[in-house]
Every structure is written in structure tokens, then in C-alpha cells.
Structure 1
Amino acid sequence: MSPMNRHNRSGSAGVVNFRRAQNTAAREAAQRLARVMAHQHADDESSEDDDTALPPPIELSTPRRANRSPSPAIGRYLAEQSSVRPTSTGRPVMMVKSTPLIPPIKPTPKPVVTSLPSDSPIVGRRDKRMSFDLGNLSMRESGPPRSSSTLQDEIDVLQEENENILQKLRHVEERCEEAEARAKQLEKQVASLGDGASLEARLLSQKEAALQRREATAANGSKDEEIAALQMEAKSARDKAASVVEHLLEAESEIKTLRKVAQKMILNQEEMEEVILKRCWLARYWKLCVQHGIHSDIADAKNEYWSSLAPLPLEVVLSTGQKARAGSLSEKHVHEDNDNLTFGVDLDGEENIESMLLVEKGLRELVLLKVEEAVLLSMAKHRCSNIKGTMLSPEGSNPTEAFELSQEECEDVQFKQAWLKYIWRRVNNHGLEEDIADDRLQFWIEQSSHSPNSQDVIEVERGMLELKKLGIESQLWEACRRAANEDLSNPGSSTSST
């Protein structure tokens, strides 16, 4: 049994005891009322003997409840009622309406007070006294009515007190009923709360058990899970590292490929020198076309374009031939001599292969239009017109030696001799045509040591034709590309050599 249930039952027992005490107090009040009434009769009889000594009243007394003080019995009764009222120990007053356990006390009917008969002994004695004292007649005649009215007043006061007590009892009973009703409601609430608390306690115990199981499982398997997680992270990191390395290798391969392609698109120093000399070739022959009126429709534009790229074509080619004669066309001297070779020509943007392609296109156009043949024919005609009327050569001499070359023809022979020396020096440096390269180089060096003549014109034309037959320029291009690829694949060696 819960403490709340025990408390509620003790409260119900206190209510029953309180009702019993109220009933006992009511019965005691009724008994005291009867004793007061009996005692009042005795007081009336004893007071009749003393009525003669009292002065006669002027008028009859009438009941005045408002001016009369309550009797001592009423005071004692109220004190007893206040002491009899029980106090609830250990239980607070609960204003809960409860069902009454015992029926309430019904108010007792007021006792009917009858007037005393006129033939009572008291009245007989009063009649006898009237014969002795006529002055007190009014007092004697009014004596019995005064005692009955006083008694009636006290009875009325007691009845009123009794009614007040009964009203208080009814009020207390109602409060007790309300307290019992509230106690029952509280019992129901406590019972429901107890059920809910027990359910919550069970749920909490289940949750605690589940948490304990989880903690035990986590304590047992936490290390394995951590190890597995670390292994997964390590594997993921290794996979990422492998992927990064793979991407890095792919990027390096792409960079190498792009570098090779870019290197192929960029001309080295030797190729740039070749481009400059071929531009000088194109600028010279288009200038001669303008001078001799060959292809006049396009000669001016071509001359202007190529002359802008090679403003001093003859001087550049002759200087290159002189270097080839001195043997300074080795690879280690190409970069040093390149500045002197350009003669102030700006080479920015000329290192790409586009420059070589434009030069080759211009040379093919020159061949298709047969510009060189037309220039040679025009110069020959001009020379023939100048030697009209000259004497024939002596007997036994070569007719070709019978005339001297013009200044323009001499410059053309020297230009081609310098070109041939430059080409055969490069062939000798790259190890191409080893059986004839050195002989051809020495031959053209000797040819350039004396002044040009008509025989030199024939020799330079034979030398230019030999270059075309052997494909010397194509061989030189391939050799330069191979050297560039080797430098790209071995950047350390090229750096150390420089």
C-alpha cells in the first residue's frame, strides 16, 4: 500500500471520528438544555419567597432579546464546542467534496412551552402573600409571567444556539463530504500517476538496459571498428596517391609530347641562318626582275616584301661565304655569328617554322616562274649588246675567255659561289656526302679566290645543278631535325655542352 493511500484512509477515519464528536456534542447540548430548564423551575420557586422584599415593578417585563446578554450556560457551551472540534493531524485540509458516510443530524424541534396552571402551589402562595402586602400586588401579579418569559427567552436563545450549532454541523458535514470527494479524486489521480510512473520506470529501465548493452558492444568492438576504419582510410589514401601519380605521369608525357611538337615548330640557329640566306636569295632575284623588267606585274610587290625582310641580300650572302671559307660554320660558332649575319634584321617572331615554310613557298614560286633563267638571259643579252664590234679572240684561245663579265654578272657569280661554299660547309659539318663534301668545299673556296670570268659562270651553274640532283638541302633539313630531337630528348647533355 502506497503512503498516499494510507494517508487518504486515515483522512476518512478522521472525518468519521469528527462526525461522532459532533453528534456527542449535540446530545450533550440537549441534556444541558434540559438541566437548565429544570434548574430554572427550582430558582423560580426559591425566588417567590423573596419577592416581598423587592420593590414592585412599575410595568410588566417584556422579552427583549437584543438587550439581554447571553446566559453563562451559552458561553460554556460555545467553549466546549470549540474544544470538542477535532483537528486533523498529519493531513492537510482538502477542499474536495465527498459522499457523506452517515446521515446529517436533523434539528430537534423546539419544545413547546406551556404556561403554568393558575392552580399551581406557587400561585396559591402568591395569593396568600397578596393579602399581607397590598402595595406589592402589581409585583405579585406579574411575578409568574416574568419568570415564564425569562425562561422562554433562555429557551429561545438556546434553541437559536442549537440551530446555529446545527448549521455549523451541516456546513462542516458539507466540507467533510467535499473533502472526501476530493480525497477520492486524489486517490484516483494518485493511482493513475502511480500506473504512469511505473510505466515510465519500466521504460527507463529498458532504455538503461539497452544503453548498457550498446556500451558493452561498443567497448568490445570499438577497437576492431577503429582498425577497420583506419585500414579503409589508408587504402583510400593509397588509391588517391596512385591516381595522382598516374595523372602526373600522364601530364609529364603530354608535356614531353607538346615540347617535342613545339620544338619541331621552333627553328634552331642553323635553320634560322638558312632562312635568312634564302630570304636574301629571293630579295636579290626579285630586285633583278624589277631592274630587267621581268614579271613586271608582280615583281615590284615581291621585291618590296622580300627586301623588307632582307634589306642587304648580297652583303649577307658574301659574308656567310667568307665565314664558310674560314671554317667558322661549326655549331659552336653559329650562335655567336648570328648577330653579325642578320645585319640589323629583327628576328623576333622568326624562330617558328612558319618562316621556313614561307621561304620554301617563295623559292618554289621562283622556280615555277623561271625567274633565275630569265635573269641570266637578260644579263647575257645586255652583255652581248655591250660587246658588239669587239675583236675576235686570237687563234687557239677559248671563245668564252674572249670577253669579260659585267659588274652585275660578277656579283651574281660571287653570290652563287658564296652560297655553294655555305652549303658544302654545312654538309661537311653534318657528315653528309663524306666522299665528295670536302672536295667540293675546297673547290669552291679556290674558285672564289680569283676574279670571276665567263668560265666561272658555267661552273656555278653546274654547282647549283649538282645541289638539286643530290638533294643536299633536304638532307640538311633532316639532319637539323634529328639534331633538334636529340637535344630535346637529352636536355642535360645539350645544356652541359653549351
Structure 2
Amino acid sequence: MPASVPISLRPPSSADPPADNRREPAPVPLRPTSTSGGSDTSADTRRDKRMSLDLGTFNMRENRAQRSSALEDELDMLQEENENLLEKLRLAEERCDETEARARQLEQQVANLGEGVTLEARLLSRKEAALQQRETHGGSAHGGRNDEAEYELRSLRIMTQRMILSREEMEEVVLKRSWLAWYWSLCVEHGIHAEIAASRSEFWSSLAPLPVQAILAAGQKAKEGIDNNDPDEREDSPRDLNELSGERNIESMLLVEKGLRELASLKVEEAVALAMAKHRRPSSKKTGLIELSKEESEDVLFKQAWLAYFWRRAKNHGVEPDIADERLQFWINHNSNSPATSHDAVDVERGLLELKKLGIESQLWRESRKWLEHDSMHRTQSLSDF
């Protein structure tokens, strides 16, 4: 069988070149050719995109840094506010202890006075009965018995005068009533101890209808009378015995001391401070100081006037003479028209604590009653001589 000859499927064409002159076809490029100008434009576009991303990242970082700084400032302010409130709570607790101690002391004094009056009254009754008996029988010792009865009557009168408040002591009672009326009215406003606040506020407000004005007036008096040491201001004259049943009875002082003791035991001042702090507006000033609310500022002015009043009395009576004038000047100058800050609030709390620790009120009480003690000693000596 003859060998097979390959058969071409393509018909022969006279146009085909010879086999030795054929060239391989050039490969077809898969990407379109681009000029050098196009390459530069693409590179610039990529570079612009990278710069845009970098700027965006930088702006985000800057915004985060600003927010972080603002949060840190706010955190610092809140921390300072928290520290100030804790300091006020600590000072108020110490003041509570001091108030309780003073109330117990005053109660004991009143009890002692009451026992003294009762004893003197019994002795006087016995002496008067004996004198009447002598007079009835016409005894020769009539004159001597009469003198003895007169001494006993003077003793009773002095003991009774101890239960009557001087004008200055009554002024202190009025200011303490104002203190109680002010804080119980704030309790009513902020819903603190709601079960008793309304009745307490009504009671103390009836005795001190304008508490803030009364305290501020006392502070102004301290400012104007800084060098006033007139003995007439102290009213060391004997008390009118008709006042024993009036408002100047020592029971008025005892009543306000009990009221202050209740205020401290219920921690009213601390609760009011926390309630007022909630209404505090954030300060726009970056001074490190926290501006107080209107009520807090009024409370600071209230306490500054209170401190000025007591240091004025201390100076006039020679109590704590080494520091009295300095403290008085400080609180007078400290009372300015500028808005009160958290530092001012801490200062007044420290001032009130110092007043308690030094026992200024107790010392003033003793000074106002020195003439009674002197008269009592003179009476004892006279009785001994008799």
C-alpha cells in the first residue's frame, strides 16, 4: 500500500510567500501602550491620594488630642470639686462634735443654775419664815435677822440674773436662729429631710424672718465697728428681773443650741452643700477655680459675715488677742463683690472649724458673765464677814 501523502486543508494560493521568507507574528500586547506624560499623571494622582490620607489621619489625631485635653481638664475640675466637698464634709463632722459638746455644757450650766435658784429660794423662804416669827414675838434680834434675809435676797437675785441674757448674748441668739432658719429653708427647697423640714423651717423662720439679712447686717456691723470697744456695747449692767419670763431668758439660748445640735446630728449642712453643688454651672474660665452657684455664693457670704461678727466680739472682749485682730481683718477683706469660688467655700469651713476649736463662743460667754462672778464673790465675802 503506498505511503499516505499529507493533504493540506488550505487550498494553495499563489499569494503565499515562500516558506523560507515567512516571519513569526508579533505578540499582541495585553495592556494599552501609554506615553510618558500619562505615567507622570498617574504617579501624581497616587501621591495626592497618599497626601490626602496622611492629612486626614493627622486631623483625626489632632481632634482626638483636643478632645483628650478637654476631658482631662474636666476631670481635673471634677477631682478638685470632689476634694473640696470631702473637705467640707470632714469639717462639718468636726463642727458637729463641737456643737454637741457645747450643747451638753450649756445644758449642764442651765441645770446647775436651776438647782441653785431652787436651793436659794428654799433658804430664803426659811429665813423669811424665821424673820416673821421673830417679828411676831418681838425678839431683840429683829435687826440682825432682817439683814441676813436681805443678804439671802441678794443671793437669790444674782442667781436669777444669771438666767437672763445680756443684749449681746441675745444678739447671738438671734443670729443662731437665723442660721437655723436659713438651713431649714434650704432643706425645704431641695427636698432634704422632707418629713420635718417644713415644720422646722416654719418654726425658726417665725423667730428669724430675714435670716440672710440679719447675718449680713451683723457682718457689716463688725466691719464698721472694727475699732469699737465701747463698754456700753457689752451691756454689763444688771439684768431686769422682769425679763426672766420673756425672750431674754436663758432658755432661748438653750433652745437654739438644741436646734444647732439637731442640725449637726442630721448632717443637714453637708446634705445642703451636696444638693447645691448639683446646680453648679461649669466654669468657662481655665483658672483652676470652680465658680459656685448663686445659692452657694450666698452661703459663703453668709458664713463670712458670721465669722467677722464673732471675731469682732472676740477682739472687743480681749479673747485670743494675738490673732483676733488679724482674723477680723481677714474676714472683712475676704468679703468681696466678686463671685465666690470653691476656694472661698473651703476657707469659710476652715474658719468655722477654727472658731470651734478655739472655743470662741464659750470664751465670749464667760467674758459676758464676768461681772456676775465678781458680784457673787463679793457677796460670799460679805456673808463671811457678817
TM-score when scaled to structure 1?
0.44
Instruction: Give the secondary-structure state (helix, strand or coil) at the position aligned to 2:368.
Output: helix
The alpha-carbon deviation at position 472 of structure 1 amounts to: 1.1
What does 1:222-371 align with in structure 2 at a 5 Å threshold? Answer: 242-327=140-225, 328=228, 330-333=230-233, 349-371=246-268
Query: 1:308 and 1:442, CA in 2 relative to 1: closer, same or farther beyond 3 A?
Result: same
Cα distance in structure 2, aligned partners of 1:331 and 1:484: 16
Correspondence for 1:417 among 286, 289, 304: 304
Maintained 8 Å contact 1:280/1:314: yes
Rg larger in structure: 1
Q: Does 1:443 align with 2:340?
A: no
Kindly report structure 1 stretches of 4+ aligned residues shifted beyond 6 Å: 487-491
Instruction: Give the secondary-structure state (helix, strand or coil) at the position aligned to 1:434.
Output: coil
Maintained 8 Å contact 1:263/1:488: no
Query: 1:488 and 1:318, CA in 2 relative to 1: closer, same or farther beyond 3 A?
Result: farther
Name the aligned partner's letter for residue 417 of structure 1.
Q
Cα distance in structure 1, aligned partners of 2:332 and 2:378: 36
State the number of aligned residues: 234
The alpha-carbon deviation at position 435 of structure 1 amounts to: 1.0
Name the aligned partner's letter for residue 301 of structure 2.
Q
Q: Report the aligned-residue RMSD.
A: 2.7
Maintained 8 Å contact 2:279/2:293: no
Cα distance in structure 1, aligned partners of 2:313 and 2:336: 20
Maintained 8 Å contact 1:317/1:418: yes
Percent of aligned positions that are identical: 57
Correspondence for 2:319 among 409, 422, 432: 432
Maintained 8 Å contact 2:165/2:250: yes
Maintained 8 Å contact 2:183/2:268: yes
The alpha-carbon deviation at position 434 of structure 1 amounts to: 1.1
TM-score when scaled to structure 2?
0.56
Cα distance in structure 1, aligned partners of 2:341 and 2:245: 40
Question: Which residue of the partner structure matches residue 64 of structure 2?
Answer: none
Instruction: Give the secondary-structure state (helix, strand or coil) at the position aligned to 1:464.
Output: helix
The alpha-carbon deviation at position 245 of structure 1 amounts to: 1.8
Report Cα offsets for 1:331-383 as digits up to 9, x if no partner: 42467xxxxxxxxxxx9821111111101110111111111111111111221
Maintained 8 Å contact 1:424/1:440: yes
The alpha-carbon deviation at position 257 of structure 1 amounts to: 1.1
Correspondence for 1:457 among 310, 334, 345: 345
Query: 1:489 and 1:361, CA in 2 relative to 1: closer, same or farther beyond 3 A?
Result: same
Maintained 8 Å contact 2:277/2:292: no
The alpha-carbon deviation at position 484 of structure 1 amounts to: 4.0
Correspondence for 2:355 among 456, 467, 475: 467
Query: 1:275 and 1:488, CA in 2 relative to 1: closer, same or farther beyond 3 A?
Result: farther
Correspondence for 1:479 among 359, 363, 367: 367
Query: 1:444 and 1:266, CA in 2 relative to 1: closer, same or farther beyond 3 A?
Result: same
Report Cα offsets for 1:129-173 as digits up to 9, x if no partner: xxxxxxxxxxxxxxxxxxxxxxxxxxxxxxxxxxxxxxxxxxxxx
Name the aligned partner's letter for residue 324 of structure 2.
A
Structure 2 portions without partners, runs of 5+: 1-133, 236-243, 380-386
Maintained 8 Å contact 2:158/2:372: no
Query: 1:329 and 1:434, CA in 2 relative to 1: closer, same or farther beyond 3 A?
Result: closer
Instruction: Give the secondary-structure state (helix, strand or coil) at the position aligned to 1:433.
Output: coil
Name the aligned partner's letter for residue 455 of structure 1.
H
What does 1:57-96 align with in structure 2 at a 5 Å threshold? Answer: none
Structure 1 portions without partners, runs of 5+: 1-235, 336-346, 492-498
More displaced 10-residue stretch of structure 1: 294-303 or 454-463: 454-463
Maintained 8 Å contact 1:329/1:425: no
Report Cα offsets for 1:373-422 as digits up to 9, x if no partner: 11111111221xx32xx65x54xx4x2x2x32222111111110110001
Cα distance in structure 2, aligned partners of 1:255 and 1:307: 40
Maintained 8 Å contact 2:300/2:345: yes
Report Cα offsets for 1:46-69 as digits up to 9, x if no partner: xxxxxxxxxxxxxxxxxxxxxxxx
Instruction: Give the secondary-structure state (helix, strand or coil) at the position aligned to 2:209.
Output: coil
The alpha-carbon deviation at position 330 of structure 1 amounts to: 4.3
Instruction: Give the secondary-structure state (helix, strand or coil) at the position aligned to 1:432.
Output: coil
Cα distance in structure 2, aligned partners of 1:372 and 1:434: 30
Name the aligned partner's letter for residue 259 of structure 2.
G
Name the aligned partner's letter for residue 376 of structure 1.
A
Question: Which residue of the partner structure matches residue 380 of structure 1?
Answer: 277
Maintained 8 Å contact 1:276/1:310: yes
The alpha-carbon deviation at position 486 of structure 1 amounts to: 4.1
Cα distance in structure 2, aligned partners of 1:442 and 1:285: 27
Query: 1:348 and 1:380, CA in 2 relative to 1: closer, same or farther beyond 3 A?
Result: farther
Cα distance in structure 1, aligned partners of 2:341 and 2:234: 32
Query: 1:331 and 1:408, CA in 2 relative to 1: closer, same or farther beyond 3 A?
Result: farther
Query: 1:304 and 1:356, CA in 2 relative to 1: closer, same or farther beyond 3 A?
Result: same
Report Cα offsets for 1:105-136 as digits up to 9, x if no partner: xxxxxxxxxxxxxxxxxxxxxxxxxxxxxxxx
Name the aligned partner's letter for residue 346 of structure 2.
I
Instruction: Give the secondary-structure state (helix, strand or coil) at the position aligned to 2:326.
Output: helix
Name the aligned partner's letter for residue 368 of structure 2.
C
- Larger RCO (alpha carbons 8 Å, 6+ apart): 2
